[in-house]
Amino acid sequence: MKKLLLFSLLLSVTFSTTLEAQRRKSKAKQTEKTTPKSKKSKAPKYSDFVTKNTKTDEGLFKVHYLKDKYIYEIPKSYLGKEMLLVTRLKDIPSGLGGGYVNAGSKINTQVVVWEHFKNKILLKVKSYNAVANDSLPIFKSVKSNNLEPIIYSFDVKTQNTDSTAVLVDVTKFFSSDVKAISGLPSYFRRNYKVRRLDASRSFINTIKSYPKNIEVVQDFTFDADAPPSNQSTNTITMRINQSMILLPEQPMMPRIYDKRVGYFSVGNVDYSSEALKADDKRYIRRWRLEPKNMEAYKRGELVEPKKPIVYYLDPATPKKLRKFIKQGVDDWAKVFETAGFKNAIMAKMPPTKEEDPEFSMEDIRYSSIRYVASTTRNAMGPSVSDPRSGEIIESDIIWYHNHLRSYRNRYLLETGAANPSARTLDTPAEEIGEMMRMVISHEIGHALGLPHNMAASYAYPVDSLRSGSFTQKYGIAATIMDYARYNYVAQPGDKNIRFVRQLGPYDHYAINWGYRVIPNSNTPEGEVKTLNKWIEDKAGNPIYKFGFQRRGGFDPESQTEDIGNDHVKASSYGLKNLKIVAKNLPNWTSNQTNNYEDLSELYGEMMSVWSRYVGHVVSNVGGVFEYNKKPSQTGAVYIPMSKNKQKESIAWLHKNAFETQNWLLDKNILNKIDEAGYADFMLRYQNRFLSQLINTNKIKRMIDTETLNEKSYTAFEMMRDLRRGIFSEVNITKNLDVNRRNLQKAFIDRIGSLLEDKSAKNSDIISIVKGELSTLRYLVNNASKRGVDTITKYHYKDIVSRIDNFLENKK
């Protein structure tokens, strides 16, 4: 009975278990029937992006276009390769940048690399501010402390059929407001109150691929509350060009920068040095010129370069000006012969659509000279260079339409006394063309790597500038790269004078130094001995001196707009001529045109000419000559202007700047061009001269010079001589005119302001100023008691009050 019961129990359990299993199995089958099987996602194929309807442009990368999508097919061999990305303005609204920004202006230049990371392609900016040899351990630290920013991250869509390239969609990148490649820098955004890019009015215009570069044109429209033009639209629309060019696999061998010869430069901090600190390395910027026939070059024969420098003229250039622009470029060919190259540089008209339908002025493979329809009076010579070596890749000279008007005006004002053909508003076409030719030559010089050399105009003796034979051969300055535009020294009666600047001996010297190939020198360091010898062979000759351009500079030689090696003498000649021009200005302008617009414009510019001549003499006071040298050369680097020349300069300034210049206040001109403001006009310039003379930097420099040289012209002597000249009337009974009264007030305010200058605290400046103010207070107080007219007495009392205020506040 027990066995039967046990069997029944086991049978019951087994049956229940089997039944439950059958239920589960049935449920699983039911689930299988009701739940569809998941499909594996299908990977995108090349044919999904490149179809028979796709438009493909072959070049650096293949660019595919289909249904408003742009796809880059990036060869894997180009991943990690360095490329130069240049952002330019192709077309702009009127007034952008206040007139000094134009179509073709470069906004940004950066080295970029495309890198593969997981399933992404990263576009990164590469910096050359810090470098090290990649074989050294410190290279790892340089990389770690200079992490490269990522501009954009792209999804890898797929690969090409043989897996040698990856495909990325660049549509969003080029149709979005990506700050790193934006045509609107932050200062534009602030000034024009830009709010956002309007995507509905922005799009990719074209993307074209060439063998070594890709050119992208974007049409962007921004919402802006204060646009530069068409303000009622609250809109800025601009066309932007992005040029990406493959940099040379092997960088050009750089040439080490030397500040004794003028070149623009690129630099970095090199941590590979064995010294106790990183090396600051600088290389000059220059084009890659390599002889076609090196053996002939070594023999001293003139040899053509493998790749000459070619500039294309803008098709918008007026036909009558084209020959002068071309000459301005071609003139440099003779200079390059000094460096051993023939046919090294030339200008051409661009190919027609029939000759080359793909030609574009924005294509970074081509250098150009753009003719800009703008009222701005200027010209520029920018360039794009490889930061690894300084190799200039491309440049675009920019000429603004109205610039020749400035040259016509100054030609009349600065040379009209001695040059009959300048005495007109209708300057002869060939002479205008010669001016344009020389401006283009100047800008080409910049594009070749040469900065301004402001010492070159000081190289020639003043009286040589009155010689026809000298000026026709050597010009008016030793280089075209100085701001020496016209010969204002030549006097009426001087014969066969060259009045317009030209290329000079320094240009030949600098181009030879920067571009001549030095055979058997395989490293930059290996060239230094030869380069140094070329400099030292010319040392001491002012024709070959390079002088930096500095705002408010201290070197009397390195000034803008001056000519001749004696500013007092040259400016005296210049003012003698300008007084003749002033008398004849109405005859040469309004009497010919029957309106006063040109007379008004030229009178204002005549004041500026006077101001420049005066400014050249001001620079003598407290001036220190700078002679860049290496320790292997003898002599001091810094030498103060002689005491006698400084005292002579102060006396000249009293006569030609601070005394009322009645020849400039000609009523026959002033009552035709303005109803008021004459006194303020004169004072504005005299204030400028006072500020240039009485400033903390200049006075401190004079105090420092005094500690090194007992015979120097001291700061105390300068302040005393200024005070004696400007207040010369306090020792006699004489009424003061309004210009003289204004000048004296300005002098008190100027020296009094030094008492409030924190940088002058605890220096002799405070003592000198207090002493001069106290002396003046005594002299002016006595002068006010003499028999002068009422306004002069009031003026003297006002001077005493101003002095008291300064002295009381600084007790």
Query: pLDDT tens digit string along 302-311?
Result: 999 999 999 9
Spatial contact of 413 and 605, defined as CB atoms under 8 Å apart: yes
| pLDDT > 90 in the chain, percent | 72
Q: pLDDT value at position 511?
A: 98
Give start and end residues of each alpha helix (H) in 654-694. Answer: 667-673, 678-693
Report, as an integer, the average pLDDT of 233-241.
93
| Per-residue pLDDT band at 133 (split at 50, 70, 90) | low
Report, as an integer, the average pLDDT of 124-144.
59
Query: pLDDT tens digit string along 418-438?
Result: 999 999 999 999 999 999 999
Report, as an integer, the average pLDDT of 338-347.
97
Q: pLDDT value at position 36?
A: 52
Q: Structure pTM?
A: 0.87
Mean pLDDT, the chain, as a whole number?
89
Flag whether pLDDT at 94 surpasses 90.
no
- All residues at 6 or more sequence positions from 33 whose CB lies less than 8 Å from its CB, including other chains: none
Q: pLDDT value at position 95?
A: 84
| pLDDT > 70 in the chain, percent | 90
Flag whether pLDDT at 110 surpasses 80.
yes
Q: Distance between terminal CA atoms of the chain?
A: 131
Query: pLDDT tens digit string along 504-543?
Result: 999 999 999 999 999 989 999 999 999 999 999 999 999 9
Least reliable range by pLDDT among 191-200, 502-511, 703-712: 703-712
Can you tell me whether residue 35 is helix, strand or coil? Answer: coil
| Per-residue pLDDT band at 1 (split at 50, 70, 90) | very low
DSSP for residue 351: P
Spatial contact of 97 and 85, defined as CB atoms under 8 Å apart: no
Distance CA 112, CA 80 (A): 9
| Residue 551 phi, psi (nearest 5) | -70, 125
Spatial contact of 169 and 156, defined as CB atoms under 8 Å apart: no
Least reliable range by pLDDT among 196-200, 271-275, 603-607: 271-275
Q: pLDDT value at position 28?
A: 47
Distance CA 220, CA 766 (A): 57
Query: pLDDT tens digit string along 599-627?
Result: 999 999 999 999 999 999 999 999 999 99
Q: Phi-psi category of 540—alpha, beta or left, where left has phi over 0 and alpha has psi -120 to 50? A: left
| Per-residue pLDDT band at 270 (split at 50, 70, 90) | low
* CA angle (730 as vertex; 726, 735 as ends), nearest 5: 90
Q: pLDDT value at position 274?
A: 55
Spatial contact of 94 and 231, defined as CB atoms under 8 Å apart: no
Domain layout of the chain by residue ranges: 47-246
Number of residues written out for the chain: 811
Helix (H) or strand (E) holding 444: helix 429-447
Report, as an integer, the average pLDDT of 477-485.
96
Highest mean predicted confidence (pLDDT) among 32-36, 57-61, 666-670: 57-61
Q: pLDDT value at position 538?
A: 95
